Each structure stands twice: as C-alpha cells, then as structure tokens.
C-alpha cells in the first residue's frame, strides 16, 4: 500500500492539462462490444478503472491493443462469452454497462451484480425497467442478472429518476434494436453526450443526447472508427476548487468551459476570479472566500462528484455554509476526516452545516471513495502542517497522475510506501 505525504500551505500556480473523462470512457469501452470491427479510442485517461474494464473486455474475447499511453484499439469481432464474472465486475460500478452492451449485441447478457462504493443504496431498477421496455426478460439469481430477448424492439421509457447509468445503459441496448426507442427524463451529463457521439461516429442513429429526451433509431450494424474521449469536467472542477482552496492561480487546459459553468458560477459567487477561454479556464484566488449554499443536482446542476471538494473549500470560508447532497444518500462520511483536521461541520441526513474556520491542520486521514480521496488531498494542500492520505486505491481509480499534476503546480506532495494494511475494499 502507498500513502501521500502533503506539506500544505503552498498556493497552486501554473498550468495543467485535463485528461479524458473517466465516466465517459468507462461507458465507451463496453460500448465497443457493440461493434463488429476495430475501433480506436483516443484521449483515454491512464487510470485503474480503464485497466479493469479493458481486462473485462479481454476476458470476454475482445482484442485490446495499446497504441500509446492514451490510445487503445478494441476489436470485438469475436466475443466468446456473454458472461461477465463476479471477480472482475465487482471491482467497479460501471461494469453495469456490460448488461446494455452485451444485450444490445447478442440479445443475451449474464453479468454479476456490480459492486459499489458506499455512497448509499445504488439500485439498478431504472436500468432494468429500460431493458424490459425493449423486450428483455430478466432473471436475478445467484448474484447474477441474466438478460435475454428473442429480439429487442424499440420502446418508450420514462425514467422515474434521472440516472446517468440507466440512460447510457438503455442507449447501449437500444442502438441496434428494431425500431425507435424514446428515453424521457434522460440524464444530460457531458458523458451521456460523449457516449452518444461515440456510437453515432460508429454508425448509430441517436438524437437528443444532452437533453431530457433521447431518440434512438435502431441500426443493423455498427462499423469501426476512431473517436477521442471528451475532457473530464470532474477532474477539471477538482483542480478549479483546489486552486481556489490554496489561494493560487492556475490555467486549466484542454477543457470545455461550458461543462464547468456550475462550478465557475459558485467560485465567482464566493469571491474567486474565473476567466474562461476557448478550451481552457483560469482560476485565481487571493483572499479568504465567502460562505455559500450549495445543492448537488444532476447536470447542469452542481455535480455531486465535486461535493466533497466544495465542502472542503467552504470549511475555511468566512462564515456559515450549507451543502445539501441531493443525489447520493451517504456522501458525507469523509466529513469525520475533515473534522480531525479541525473543520467545524455538522451533518444531519443529507445536509452539512459548515462553520468556516481560519485554517485546517494537517494530520493522517484516509480516502473513503474516489472524490472523498481527492478532497483529502485538497485539505492537505490547504492545511497548516503535514497531512498523510491513505487508501490511495480509490484516487488511482479515477485521477490520472494526481500528484504529478499537483507537483507541476508547485505542491509539496509525494507518494511513499505505507506499511499499514488497508482495511477497505476497492469497488466503486
Ligand atoms: C454515475 O453513477 C457516476 N458513475 C457517478 O460518479 C456519479 O456520482 C453519478 O453518476 C451521478 O452523477 C459513473 O458514471 C461510472 P445515477 P450512476 O444512476 O450512474 C438513483 C464518481 O465518483 N438510482 O445517475 O451509478 C441512485 O441511487 C462516481 O465518479 C436509482 O434509484 O449514478 C442515485 O441516487 C461516483 N435507480 C441517483 O439515482 C437506478 O436504477 C443517481 O444515480 C439508478 C440510479
């Protein structure tokens, strides 16, 4: 095991580039199962989740070739099995996309129930509702979902809640179904649009991705091609908030500023300067920031994945802030770690009340999940003294070279071997 040692109190300064989006690529790679041919995917982030999902595809029979550090070729012509076993599937939540992709290609999928990091209950009822609307029969037995259909036929689905995973999964299943599928109350995150763009560039006919209503006209086959993954707006938002938290000045490059509007607006509201350019965004912060009210919402609202980071930022603001988590039930568990660093935060169900303090104090803390791990690193960068962050397996799932990028911005952060055994599992 490894841990990060951070000496805090140094403002981040300089420029960095943002990698391809984790939550897009973990859907695009399984989507390649729908293609009988080769597809080349560019701007793939170098993160552990990509290794896991490409390993799963290899086990199914896909040929994966690493063209360079950020480009892979996937050939799904000869898939040997529709069964994705528990060992691999339990390592990441996004393996639920194997259900839609295998069902869409073979009218059959046998996929272990996906594991999940503890953000509260993570049901898949909306995914299953969508598959059923296309004509699939579903059995859940012995920890597996078995989905079968004689033929998938386009259907009309109105989701009861806005779900990223269900929206993408139903797109995957519907892309080759007979006739037209309409998804209403669809999620609108940039990764939904990216998966639709990927499938369309391979021959699919999907319209409306990025709006509430997505219309999919089934096509007979998807051909190969080349596609470049969209920039990771959550990674970009992470560095925007870290810059503001350390009182720094950073140009964040290779982003789509439109995707970052909710974060830009909140940072401006509390007193940071944010300058938007065509494909970069600059954050400057020179003074103690003001408190705020934040409520997480599906896109284009403030992203739940940045909730631990904005809470960390507000822990040293000049007054009382209220952060409401409206997407995941249990996403405040990391607050105990912030309290150990001196933060004054009380959590009642899904609402955190934050009394801003002058300064956090460095101490040993652990990552509870991917974004909470990033928040611990951010707290360490902001704190007085030295912070040790453990359970880095979460951070490595989704941030490419976090400490390398931070070091290039002037942070004092290094990774060392940690002799203490890990107490938690890795699934998210
Ligand atoms: C995706 O998870 C992301 N993961 C999450 O990012 C992100 O937090 C989440 O969307 C919300 O933006 C990936 O893209 C791989 P949802 P997902 O279905 O698809 C409820 C990160 O740190 N729900 O949009 O699993 C659910 O309980 C991760 O990068 C149902 O009730 O999230 C939640 O309250 C963590 N039934 C809400 O909807 C369902 O069938 C949103 O979940 C599905 C979801």
175-196 residue pLDDT tens: 999 999 999 999 999 999 999 9
Mean pLDDT of 343-350: 97
Beta bridge partners of 393: none
Q: Is the peptide bond before 300 cis (omega within 30 degrees of 0)?
A: yes
**Atom of ligand 1 minimally distant from the CA of 126:** 40
Which residue, by CA, sits nearest to atom 16 of ligand 1? 163
Beta bridge partners of 83: 110
In this predicted model, what pLDDT tens digit does every residue of 225-272 receive, in sequence order? 999 999 999 999 999 999 999 999 999 999 999 999 999 999 999 999
CA of residue 385 to ligand 1 center, whole Å: 36
302 lines ligand 1 (CB under 6 A): no
Per-residue pLDDT band for 118 (boundaries 50, 70, 90) equals low
In this predicted model, what pLDDT tens digit does every residue of 401-424 receive, in sequence order? 999 999 999 999 999 998 776 655
User: Which residue, among 16, 12, 14, 6, has the nearest Cα to 412 in the 3D structure?
Assistant: 6
HEC letters along the chain: CEEEEEECCCCCEEEEECCECHHHHHHHHHHHHHCCCEEEEECCCCCHHHHHHHHHHHHHCCEEEEEECCEEEEECCCCCCCEECHHHHCCCHHHHHHHHHHHHHHCEEEEECCCCCCCCCCCCHHHHHHHHHCCCEEEEECCEEEEECCCCECCEEECCCCCHHHHHHHHHHHCCCECEEEEECCCCCHHHHHHHHHHHHCCCEEECECECCEEEECCCCCCCEEEECCECHHHHHHHHHHHHHHCCEEEEECCCHHHHHHHHHHHHHCCCEEEECCCEEEEECCCCCCCCEEEECCCCCECHHHHHHHHHHHCCCCCEEEEECCCCCCCCCCHHHHHHCCCEEEEECCEEEEECCCCCECCEEECCCHHHHHHHHHHHHHCECEEEEECCHHHHHHCCCHHHHHHHCCCEEEEEECCCCCCCCCCC
**Neighbour order of strands in the sheet with 249-253:** 13-17, 249-253, 280-284, 273-276
Strands 364-366 and 386-390, bridge-based pairing: parallel
* CATH fold for the domain made of 2-18+287-417: UDP-n-acetylglucosamine1-carboxyvinyl-transferase; Chain (3.65.10)
Per-residue pLDDT band for 393 (boundaries 50, 70, 90) equals very high
238 lines ligand 1 (CB under 6 A): no
Does pLDDT of 120 surpass 70? Answer: no
Q: d(Cα 278, Cα 281) in Å, to the nearest integer?
A: 8
161 lines ligand 1 (CB under 6 A): yes
23 lines ligand 1 (CB under 6 A): yes
404 lines ligand 1 (CB under 6 A): no
Which residue, by CA, sits nearest to atom 9 of ligand 1? 164
Catalytic (active-site) positions: 117
In this predicted model, what pLDDT tens digit does every residue of 56-92 receive, in sequence order? 999 999 999 999 999 999 999 999 999 998 888 888 8
CATH 3.65.10.10 residue ranges of the chain are 2-18+287-417, 22-228
Pocket test for ligand 1, best of 22, 29, 164 (most atoms within 8 A of CB): 164
Q: d(Cα 214, Cα 216) in Å, to the nearest integer?
A: 7
What pLDDT was estimated at residue 116?
56
Could you identify the residue written with the tokens 């859940």? Answer: 140
122 lines ligand 1 (CB under 6 A): yes
- Sequence-distant (≥ 6) Cβ neighbours of residue 422 within 8 angstroms: 1, 390, 391, 393
* CATH fold for the domain made of 22-228: UDP-n-acetylglucosamine1-carboxyvinyl-transferase; Chain (3.65.10)
CA of residue 24 to ligand 1 center, whole Å: 13
Q: d(Cα 229, Cα 271) in Å, to the nearest integer?
A: 32
What pLDDT was estimated at residue 86?
86
**Atom of ligand 1 minimally distant from the CA of 303:** 12
What pLDDT was estimated at residue 204?
98
Q: Is residue 367 a contact partner of residue 344, using CB atoms and an 8 Å limit?
A: no
What pLDDT was estimated at residue 268?
98
CA of residue 9 to ligand 1 center, whole Å: 34
CA of residue 14 to ligand 1 center, whole Å: 33
**Atom of ligand 1 minimally distant from the CA of 117:** 35
CA of residue 162 to ligand 1 center, whole Å: 9
316 lines ligand 1 (CB under 6 A): no
Which residue, by CA, sits nearest to atom 21 of ligand 1? 305
CA of residue 298 to ligand 1 center, whole Å: 9
* % of the chain beyond a pLDDT of 90: 90
In this predicted model, what pLDDT tens digit does every residue of 284-325 receive, in sequence order? 999 899 999 999 999 999 999 999 999 999 999 999 999 999
In this predicted model, what pLDDT tens digit does every residue of 18-62 receive, in sequence order? 999 999 999 999 999 999 999 999 999 999 999 999 999 999 999
Residues across the chain: 428
Pocket test for ligand 1, best of 116, 327, 332 (most atoms within 8 A of CB): 327
Across the chain, mean pLDDT equals 95
Q: Is residue 166 a contact partner of residue 94, using CB atoms and an 8 Å limit?
A: no
192 lines ligand 1 (CB under 6 A): no
What pLDDT was estimated at residue 85?
82
| pTM for the model | 0.96
Which residue, by CA, sits nearest to atom 43 of ligand 1? 124
């Amino acid at each position: 095991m490894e841990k990060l040692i951070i000496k805090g109190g140094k403002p981040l300064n300089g420029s960095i580039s943002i990698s391809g989006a984790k939550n897009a690529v973990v859907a695009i790679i399984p989507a390649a199962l729908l293609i009988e041919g080769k597809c080349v995917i560019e701007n793939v982030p170098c993160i552990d989740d990509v290794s896991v999902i490409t390993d799963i595809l290899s086990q199914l029979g896909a040929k994966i070739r690493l063209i360079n550090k950020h480009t892979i070729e996937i050939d799904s012509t000869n898939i040997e099995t529709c069964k994705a076993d528990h060992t691999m599937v339990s390592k990441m939540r996004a393996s639920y996309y194997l259900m839609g992709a295998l069902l869409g290609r073979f009218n059959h999928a046998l996929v272990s129930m996906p594991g999940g990091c503890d953000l509260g209950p993570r049901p898949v009822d909306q995914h299953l509702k969508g598959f059923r609307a296309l004509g699939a029969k579903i059995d859940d037995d012995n920890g597996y979902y078995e989905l079968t259909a004689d033929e998938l036929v386009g259907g009309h689905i109105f989701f009861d809640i806005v779900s990223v995973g269900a929206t993408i999964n139903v797109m995957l299943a519907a892309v080759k179904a007979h006739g037209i599928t309409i998804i209403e109350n669809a999620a609108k995150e940039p990764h939904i649009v990216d998966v639709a763009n990927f499938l369309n560039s391979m021959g699919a006919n999907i319209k409306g991705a990025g709006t509430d209503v997505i219309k999919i006209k089934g096509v007979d086959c998807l051909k190969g091609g080349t596609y470049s993954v969209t920039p990771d707006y959550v990674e970009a938002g992470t560095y925007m908030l870290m810059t503001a938290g350390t009182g720094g000045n950073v140009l964040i490059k290779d982003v789509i500023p439109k995707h970052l509007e909710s974060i830009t607006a909140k940072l401006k509201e509390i007193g940071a300067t944010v300058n938007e350019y065509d494909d970069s965004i600059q954050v400057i912060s020179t003074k103690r920031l003001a408190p705020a009210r934040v409520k997480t919402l599906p896109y284009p609202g403030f992203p739940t994945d940045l909730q631990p980071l904005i809470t960390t930022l507000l822990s040293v603001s000049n007054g009382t802030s209220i952060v409401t988590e409206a997407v995941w039930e249990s996403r405040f568990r990391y607050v105990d770690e912030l309290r150990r660093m001196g933060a004054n935060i009380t959590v009642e169900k899904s609402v955190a009340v934050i009394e801003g303090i002058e300064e956090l104090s460095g101490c040993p803390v652990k990552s509870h999940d991917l974004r909470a791990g990033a928040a611990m690193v951010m707290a360490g960068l902001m704190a007085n003294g030295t912070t040790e962050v453990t359970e880095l397996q979460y951070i490595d799932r989704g941030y490419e070279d976090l400490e390398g990028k931070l070091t290039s911005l002037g942070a004092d952060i290094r990774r060392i071997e940690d002799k203490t055994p890990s107490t938690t599992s890795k699934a998210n």
